[in-house]
């Protein structure tokens, strides 16, 4: 592998370390929130996302070390890159409604999925089998997490609104989810 490709892999991997670390940290903080921990539909999913993220994070660190990455300054740069993406998303958890926290998780998983797609492309182009396997694993985990979280969103929003006053349309969550699924089904396949 050329020095240029190796340098690119090192940079992408370190960016992913920062991104995964931020996401795992934020989700673990959310799991301590009673509004999430009390939901049998959401808490196990977020726990699964955090656990998968931790496993990938360890593999990313191992890969960075194997590629000669300095786990100090290079990761600091990666964390800065990732936190720039997620800084506005994960603030003080208890100040936000549950729906906003889940929305932020969807955005974070989408950013991770896109980033793993970029890492996969780089790994394939550079001929790096270990990086390729890790990126595929990341895609297989983060992409479905987006759709699973999105499927919960309409009920969460409707439940929050119903706490304030009765809903004008009690079927709103069901109708919204059907429209969301329809919009995804109309998207051209990748």
- 105-142 pLDDT, tens digit each: 999 999 999 999 999 999 999 999 999 999 999 999 99
The whole-angstrom separation of Cα 82 and Cα 112 is 10
CA distance 123 to 189: 23
Residue 69 has pLDDT above 80, yes or no: no
How far is it, in rounded angstroms, from Cα 75 to Cα 15?
7
Question: pLDDT grade, residue 72 (50/70/90)?
Answer: very low
Q: What is the CATH number of the domain that holds 78?
A: 1.20.1260.10
> What pLDDT does 70 receive?
57
Q: Enter the pTM of the model.
A: 0.85
E strands, 83-175, where?
Answer: none
Phi, psi of 113 (to 5 degrees): -60, -45
Q: Give the pLDDT confidence score for residue 125 in this predicted structure.
A: 94
**Where in the sequence is the domain holding 115, given as residue range(s)?**
3-186
State how many domains the chain has. Answer: 1
Average pLDDT, the chain: 87
């Amino acid at each position: 592998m050329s020095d240029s490709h190796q340098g690119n892999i090192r940079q992408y991997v370190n960016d992913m370390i920062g991104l995964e670390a931020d996401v795992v940290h934020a989700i673990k903080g959310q799991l301590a929130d009673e509004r999430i921990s009390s939901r049998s539909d959401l808490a196990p999913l977020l726990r699964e996302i955090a656990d998968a993220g931790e496993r990938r994070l360890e593999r990313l660190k191992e890969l960075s070390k194997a590629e000669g990455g300095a786990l100090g300054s290079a990761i600091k740069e990666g964390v800065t890159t990732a936190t720039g993406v997620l800084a506005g998303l994960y603030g003080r958890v208890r100040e936000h409604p549950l729906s906003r926290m889940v929305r932020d998780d969807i955005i974070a998983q989408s950013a991770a999925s896109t980033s793993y797609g970029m890492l996969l492309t780089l790994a394939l182009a550079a001929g790096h089998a270990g990086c390729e396997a890790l990126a595929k694993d990341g895609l297989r985990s983060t992409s479905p997490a987006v759709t699973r979280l999105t499927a919960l969103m309409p009920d969460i929003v409707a439940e929050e609104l119903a706490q304030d006053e009765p809903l004008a349309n009690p079927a709103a969550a069901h109708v919204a989810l059907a429209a969301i699924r329809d919009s995804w089904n109309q998207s051209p396949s990748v």
